[in-house]
């Protein structure tokens, strides 16, 4: 690796680390105030989350308020959270009492499994199809693919999910409809997310491939004597992947939004699922923890994309 490339790499890491700190602070503080702004009495909500709506009354609510110090001023509680966060103590769930880092870490793992599997599956769908479509642009295959892309993208993700459940779980009884267990539970939510992702990325792959195929360097390699397959292998892949990898990074960010809906639909115990429940129960530490974790994943993903593009495209090494 060239020295310049290493320097750029270090620059990326340094810049993204600084960004991570600010994202964490900003997201944490915004979540804190947003939770305060939600309607309803917070102590009642938390008591409801702990003991169940039926067993909650004004005395349990009062004891919750006393225990958590909810009567103290906002600022005191915020500063307390900030101070604790600096020592990597992210507090305990107000509902279950277990440490936030444990709860979030657990659900985050599930979500990352789902998101990662979806991205990987979408790549396996989009790249071969996109490359094939670009080989014969405007062929019936290319047009059918575009039609599928547009159709899939114009349907909300959860509708695709419901259709898949109806087909594979209800009709064919091949796969579980929802829940979490062995590998079979992963298939439908992954497929739902992956189809939505691939619908767009297949067209990005197709356009990128077509651009490379029509490029002067591709034609020059052909006329140099390399066959189409040899040229594609040596000069096609790397060049077409640069924009595709950058696009996958953007997609990962949209997937986080998809995860909240899809996890709820498939009762997948991921971070999106737990975030929604934590908001209902006013479990502020969990909300903060989950949101900060998602924010940090954004930053980490962006850093990974930057590094991948840097390694793929030598022209990036010159920038800083």
Binding site for other proteins (CB under 8 A): 215-217, 219-226, 230, 234-235, 238-239, 242, 312-315, 318
Q: What radius of gyration do the chain's Cα atoms show?
A: 24
Q: Closest Cα partner for 205 from 235, 246, 253?
A: 246
Distance (Å, whole) CA 46 – CA 277: 11
Nearer to other proteins among residue 239 and residue 288 (C-beta): 239
Q: From CA 290, how far away is CA 263, in angstroms rounded?
A: 14
Q: What SS3 state is found at 173? A: coil
Q: How far is the CB of 312 from other proteins (least distance, A)?
A: 7
- Are the C-beta atoms of residues 94 and 278 closer than 8 Å to each other? no
Q: How far is the CB of 163 from other proteins (least distance, A)?
A: 39
Nearer to other proteins, 118 or 239 (CB): 239
In whole angstroms, what is the distance from residue 293 CA to residue 287 CA?
10
Q: Which is nearer to other proteins, 242 or 261 (CB)?
A: 242
| Residue 179 vs 318, nearer CB to other proteins | 318
Q: Minimum distance from CB of 266 to other proteins (Å)?
A: 40
Give min distance, CB of 316 to other proteins, in A. Answer: 10
- Residue number, 106 or 222, with CB nearest to other proteins: 222
Nearer to other proteins, 143 or 238 (CB): 238
Q: Is-contact 110 269, C-beta < 8 A?
A: yes
Conformational region of residue 91, where left means phi above 0, alpha means psi within -120 to 50, and beta covers everything else: left
Judged by beta carbon, residue 85 or residue 215, the one nearer other proteins is 215
Answer yes or no: are the C-beta atoms of 100 and 92 closer than 8 Å: yes
What span, in angstroms and rounded, lies between the C-alpha atoms of 310 and 15? Answer: 15
Taking the complex as a whole, the smallest distance from the CB of residue 240 to other proteins amounts, in Å, to 10
Burial (0-12, 13-18, 19+ Cβ within 10 Å), 95: buried
> For 165, which DSSP code?
I
Checking 176-185 for CB contacts under 8 A at 24+ apart, the result is 177/266, 178/265, 178/266, 178/267, 178/268, 179/266, 179/267, 180/110, 180/267, 180/268, 180/269, 185/266, 185/268
Tell me the closest approach of the beta carbon of residue 246 to other proteins, in angstroms. Answer: 14
Q: Taking the CA atoms of 149, 151, 152 and 156 in sequence, report the sign of the dihedral they define.
A: positive
Q: Supply the minimum distance, in Å, between the C-beta of residue 250 and other proteins.
A: 21
Joined together, the tokens standing for residue 156 give 């909300």
> For residues 78 and 226, which CB has a smaller minimum distance to other proteins in the complex?
226
Smallest separation (angstroms) from other proteins to the CB of 235: 5
Three-state secondary-structure class, residue 73: coil
């Amino acid at each position: 690796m060239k020295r310049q490339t290493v320097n750029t790499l270090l620059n990326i890491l340094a810049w993204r680390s600084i960004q991570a700190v600010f994202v964490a602070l900003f997201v944490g503080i915004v979540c804190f105030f947003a939770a305060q702004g939600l309607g309803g009495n917070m102590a009642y909500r938390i008591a409801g989350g702990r003991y169940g709506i039926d067993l909650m009354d004004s005395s349990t609510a009062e004891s919750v308020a006393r225990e958590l110090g909810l009567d103290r001023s906002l600022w005191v509680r915020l500063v307390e959270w900030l101070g604790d966060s600096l020592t990597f103590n992210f507090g305990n769930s107000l509902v279950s009492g277990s440490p936030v880092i444990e709860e979030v870490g657990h659900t985050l793992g599930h979500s990352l499994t789902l998101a990662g599997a979806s991205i990987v599956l979408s790549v396996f769908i989009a790249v071969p199809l996109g490359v094939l479509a670009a080989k014969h642009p405007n062929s019936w295959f290319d047009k059918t693919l575009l039609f599928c892309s547009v159709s899939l993208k114009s349907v909300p993700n959860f509708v695709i999910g419901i259709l898949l459940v109806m087909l594979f779980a209800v009709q064919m009884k091949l796969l579980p409809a929802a829940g979490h267990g062995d590998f079979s539970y992963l298939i439908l939510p992954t497929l739902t997310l992956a189809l939505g992702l691939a619908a767009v990325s297949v067209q990005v792959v197709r356009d990128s491939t077509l651009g490379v195929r029509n490029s002067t360097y591709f034609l020059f390699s052909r006329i140099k004597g390399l066959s189409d397959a040899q040229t594609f292998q040596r000069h096609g892949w790397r060049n077409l992947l640069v924009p595709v990898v950058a696009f996958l990074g953007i997609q990962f960010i949209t997937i986080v939004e998809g995860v909240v809906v899809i996890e709820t639909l498939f009762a997948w115990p991921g971070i999106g699922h737990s975030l929604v429940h934590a908001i209902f129960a006013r479990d502020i530490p969990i909300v903060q923890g989950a949101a900060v974790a998602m924010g940090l994943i954004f930053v980490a993903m962006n850093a990974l994309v930057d590094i991948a593009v840097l390694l793929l495209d030598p022209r990036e090494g010159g920038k800083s």
